[in-house]
Structure 1
Amino acid sequence: MFRWCLLILCVSAQTPSQQPASANISSSNIQQSIYDVIVVGAGLTGLTAARNIQQSRPGLSVLVLEARGQVGGRVRYATMQTRNGVEFVDTGSQFISPTDTELLALIQQLNVRTTQQLTCGNNTVFQQTRRKKRQSSVQMQQQWSTTLFADLINSPELIGNLTNTSISQMSQQLDPADSDSVNRLMQTFFDAPGEQVSEIQLALTCASQNATAVEILRRFGHGQSLLAQGGMNEVVRRLADGLLIEYSQRVVSVNDATFPATIQTSNGRRFSARQVIVAVPIPTLENIDLVPTPEAPFQQLIQNYGPTGHAYYFTMSFQRPTWRLNGRSGKVIYTSTSGPLVWLTTFDTTFAQSCDNSTSASSFLWGIAHFTYDVPFETRKRLYTQAIMYSLRFADFSPLDVSDSNFANDDLAKGTIPTLRLNIPMESLKYLNDFHTLYQNVHIATADIASNSLGTMNGAVHSGTSVSNYVLQMLAAADDQNILRDTPIESTTPYVYSTSSHYPPGILGVRNNEPSTRSSFQYETSSQYPVTVETPTTTTIRHFSFGNLDNSTNEEPAVLYDSAPQEAPPTLNYSTTFAYSTSSVMPPVEPIETTTLRHFSNGNLENTTAQSPAVQRDDPAVVVNQQQNGYVYSTSTHYPIQLSSNRNSVNFRATPSPEVVQQLQQVSENASNSTSLQLASSLTQLVQSLLTTLRLQ
């Protein structure tokens, strides 16, 4: 009990009216339908996780759902009358171990001061009976305290029969001092009877704290503890400041079988998130319908891991610390066999720098009490006062205010620190690893399964930090994958669709000098492209099909593609006199005068000074005398007929070889799937093969 419920009396420096603005956010302010992260539970674990995610990636949407009307979880606080007026006062966890490095670092980030717990005077012990213990040693605890937590839970040889032995059976083998320390740890730290707790619980606690039972007691309320100024309630309220929190939202269902994960509350609200952190005590998971159902070993952990005590935690405020004036420390141990109050212990939780100036601050005692049966609050209040007054031998001991709570009766907590019961399956211990992922996007995190400082406030910070770092990694990985996701994007910017600069604008709807009309283009192919697409700029291109691949020094007119049509068809004037008209893609060209064309297919590859007469292509008026040269030119109407001047090496009456015919068929079959360059290359090879065949024949 010492970790989560140990001493609660620290006074808040704020009045109740100074509650952070985040304490009340109505559902009307929640506009998001799907959140990046939803945290269930505004305890120390949940708040730490939410804050870490929000600070690491401020752009993420994070929502915290809290069943109560205040944050803190097992860091409980209430308003009480003090010497300085009405203040927030801790009634739950408040003792900070000097070895709680993660918790102390968080407190420092929140600009909250800490001070050493004061022990001003002697302790008071009042016992009606004493039990005798057998002599033994504490070597086993020392071994546990030096064993790594992970090694312990994963080593059957180290666990041995610890799961089958109770704390009471173990303590009987210890000497009186060690046995008293173990029993007091069970009363104040765990609030659990030793008969119902497995010995493995003590072993895991010592391993996670790197300490023996005596050392743990000293760190939590027995001389070495630290206290936060204003109490731990000041810490959690500052931690919640700036977070989006919905109060009175008790979660009854979490579904990890869908994406996004869905959450339903008891009042019918539904929420969705990419990642969900369930930061509630392990015993309370029985109140939540988890989908898919957790695996059997984890269910066994839930069933065999819970608080077993029924103690009341009470806080008293005083005008001044009268116990210090009488040389007492305020630490009282009271036992009785008559009942109904059978055991009580108190601690001085006044925040002060020294015993000399402690009277200037509000004074508090925080304590734990066990009753044999339930009694009304007024009866409990009277019994608290009488037991402390009788133990300190004070004639007048009147507190200003008294507040108490019973965590065992709280369905949202079901106790303080849970303990492992006898005969718990060893395979269930593997889940004591900071957090557990239910299926894929829902993660259970709590101090109850922390590998460091198991069950304490430092364990809560450790678990919250671990799970939030993992969630951040999951979100980052998902965001990287979603870069290629096809998300439709509607653009209002007119988009000129021009797939290639080789197609002149006339093909795209501009014909016969008609004005260009542009339609709005809805761009939805991929989210990788920007919403706004600028109109592509025009370029000047010289295409191989115009016969200008050679390095010509003559300036050629620029052909502008994707541009508006001109009033008159362009005049083609190229040095090679090759008019491009092999495809219907080009605009119609009026007949023009052509220059002399010397083509290799007419056998005029050799240089000659003879000038051939100009022949207009595709002109039916041109009569070709086929008998003049013995060669009928009929391969294309685009190539003029030339008279060959060199016929000595070619047999014009020869027939093509079967290889050439086969090659021609292959070119014809592949023409539809070939590019212009590939087709031109294939035809060139075919002509060369044909000429070679003709010369050989």
Structure 2
Amino acid sequence: MTERESDVVIIGAGIAGLTAAYRIKKLFPKCSVLVLEAKDRVGGRTYTVDLTAANGTDKWDLGGQWVCRHQHHILWLLEELGIETYKQWLDGKKLMQIGGHRIKSHNSNLPPLPLLSLLDLGRALDKIENMVKQVPRDDPRLSKRANEWDNMTLEALRDQVSYTHATRDTFDIAIAMISGIRPREISALHFLHYSSMAGSFENLFEADNGGAQEWKVKGGLQQVSELLTDKIGKENVILSEPVKSIDQTEETSVLVTSETGQNYRCKYVINASPLHCSVAMDYKPSIPLTRQSLANRSPVGHLFKFIITYKKAFWRENGFSGEILGNGGAPVIPGCDSGPIQLIYDSVTGYGNPALVGFYANAWQWRLVDLEVRKASVLKHLTEFLGEEAANPIHFIDKDWTIEPFNGGCPVNTATTSALSFFFDGIRTPHDRVHWAGTESATQWNGYLSGAVQSGMRAADEVLTRLTPEIKLDGLLQELDNKFPEPSSSSVRGAVVMVAGSAMVAGLCMFMYWYLT
């Protein structure tokens, strides 16, 4: 085959890779850029689908979905592309199912736990947030307690800061929501660093006040990649072109070869594929052991998502927000240790079409169950929360990201114990002419769409600095980085303390009244 030449080859047409291409072309229009994508579509871990809805058809996200006010990099890109956001619906009663599997309702951010568990939860959150503040976003190894925390699992840290089963169950649900990984599989340092890059642990699991699930994108998030493709030129984005090898043995150029046998000659490469995918290619010379080892010790999470469309938003009419949180409840079929529902949110679109979005509990078990059985189990479980109207959807669809080609999981890679202490250098340090992007390499909102945008901007700036030293960068990346807010006091922790304290005072007053009279 003929050899195609360009200044820069970018591997991966997700948001990180396409942001890098867009920024290079915007700052240096004469630079030639090719984007090679292994899949037959752009978007990476975003995936928007058309579903039958109350008013014809509409779009929903089966991949990345939410943004928030503190995610300045993705917000900049959305504004650049003219894409609207709207608030995640939260009005009405919320539902929760943990412990003995009894369903309880509540109207605040506080979970409906017993008083002692609430006190324990508040105390645990306070300890965790204090630890988060001790972990630098740029490099977790700079924390004074880095070795201690990297040598223990998150489960061990959880047990160290909490005492009640209800608190630990609530914590486990939050971690499963965030990462798709069980606490026993994650380094405590990784978790604290991950939280630090979001400003706080609370920001990761909240859906208001700057929490990660605060806003949705009208029309779905895959359009970000589609619009970026239009701007850099569809002819410059080559689909179904998985990269096989990257050869840097020539002194002044890089030869990239695809599985189809096509050769691409360039001056620099930006590899924006997920961490575990980035090391699956052949490199000459070999990539540093730090990156290979970090990838080997950073399994990808497993979130298994479903969308259910309805004729009307009956839960809103009945006074519910649509938010459901749980650990799956009691087992309902052989082979699964729990029921199917872990998290549900209202997913009425920006065009008013009703739906619910949810995630499976014990995804690694439910993924082995036949689709029709999964669907029936979810709908039956949902009726226990929202009534019989939940049993009659228009459409049900789910997506198992573990079988998505060139992903093998979602949302992000998570480091096991000792991985960060020994191999963190591999995450962003260039391999000669190969630079790394992807949300795993972000310093703000790692694992999120905003982290992907930041990483793409950073890699683009790195390459432009080497490719065209005379070109002055615009300082936009630093400006967006500087908008990152300092950690604020936790609204959840404050509410826990206030409610639990009030309950204790009331109980003491009742006891004194009874004792004195």
Please identify, of 174-183 and 277-286, the stretch whose mean Cα deviation from structure 2 is larger.
174-183
2:385 equivalent among 381, 385, 391: 391
Report matched runs for 1:183-332 at 5 Å.
183-211=172-200, 213-219=201-207, 225-243=214-232, 244-258=236-250, 259-309=252-302, 311-332=303-324
2:13 is matched with which residue? 42
2:84 is matched with which residue? 113
Asked if structure 2 preserves the Cα contact closer than 8 Å seen for 1:141 and 1:206, the reply is: no
CA pair 101-248 structure 1, distance change in 2 beyond 3 A:
same
- CA distance in 2 between counterparts of 1:178 and 1:52 reads 45
- CA distance in 2 between counterparts of 1:209 and 1:181 reads 20
Please identify, of 461-470 and 317-326, the stretch whose mean Cα deviation from structure 2 is larger.
317-326
User: How far 1:60 sits from its partner (Å)?
Assistant: 1.5
User: How far 1:112 sits from its partner (Å)?
Assistant: 0.9
**TM-score (ref. length: structure 1):** 0.59
1:402 equivalent among 396, 399, 415: 396
User: How far 1:478 sits from its partner (Å)?
Assistant: 9.3
1:421 equivalent among 411, 416, 421: 416
User: How far 1:32 sits from its partner (Å)?
Assistant: 8.0
2:352 is matched with which residue? 361
2:440 equivalent among 439, 448, 465: 448
Higher relative contact order (CA 8 A, sep 6+): 2
**TM-score (ref. length: structure 2):** 0.78
Cα offsets for 1:596-631 (capped at 9, x unmatched)? xxxxxxxxxxxxxxxxxxxxxxxxxxxxxxxxxxxx
Asked if structure 1 preserves the Cα contact closer than 8 Å seen for 2:54 and 2:310, the reply is: yes
User: How far 1:222 sits from its partner (Å)?
Assistant: 6.9
1:162 is matched with which residue? 149
1:376 equivalent among 366, 370, 373: 370
1:146 equivalent among 107, 124, 133: 133
Q: What is the identity percentage for the equivalent residue pairs of Structure 1 and Structure 2?
A: 21
User: How far 1:291 sits from its partner (Å)?
Assistant: 2.2
Cα offsets for 1:45-96 (capped at 9, x unmatched)? 0010010011111111111111112111011222321223334321011111
Cα offsets for 1:201-258 (capped at 9, x unmatched)? 21101221121x2232114897961111112122222222133211111112122233
1:643 is matched with which residue? none
CA pair 478-99 structure 1, distance change in 2 beyond 3 A:
closer
User: How far 1:479 sits from its partner (Å)?
Assistant: 10
Report matched runs for 1:37-76 at 5 Å.
37-76=8-47
Aligned residues: 439
Please state if 1:342 is matched with 2:334.
Answer: no
What's the RMSD between the two structures over aligned residues?
2.7
- CA distance in 2 between counterparts of 1:40 and 1:467 reads 12
CA pair 119-55 structure 1, distance change in 2 beyond 3 A:
same
Please identify, of 67-76 and 389-398, the stretch whose mean Cα deviation from structure 2 is larger.
389-398
Cα offsets for 1:143-183 (capped at 9, x unmatched)? 34434625752326331311121111111233457645532
SS at match of 1:69: coil
Q: Is the helix fraction higher in 1 or 2?
A: 2
User: How far 1:97 sits from its partner (Å)?
Assistant: 2.1
- CA distance in 1 between counterparts of 2:172 and 2:423 reads 26
- CA distance in 1 between counterparts of 2:8 and 2:340 reads 45
CA pair 156-116 structure 1, distance change in 2 beyond 3 A:
closer
SS at match of 2:19: helix
- Which structure 1 segments of 5+ residues have no match? 1-26, 353-359, 481-697
Report matched runs for 1:649-688 at 5 Å.
none
Cα offsets for 1:623-652 (capped at 9, x unmatched)? xxxxxxxxxxxxxxxxxxxxxxxxxxxxxx
Report the AA paired with residue 376 of structure 1: D
CA pair 197-236 structure 1, distance change in 2 beyond 3 A:
same
Cα offsets for 1:540-591 (capped at 9, x unmatched)? xxxxxxxxxxxxxxxxxxxxxxxxxxxxxxxxxxxxxxxxxxxxxxxxxxxx
CA pair 41-438 structure 1, distance change in 2 beyond 3 A:
same
1:462 is matched with which residue? 454
CA pair 137-380 structure 1, distance change in 2 beyond 3 A:
closer
- Which structure 2 segments of 5+ residues have no match? 102-112, 473-517
CA pair 347-162 structure 1, distance change in 2 beyond 3 A:
same
2:349 is matched with which residue? 351
SS at match of 1:438: coil
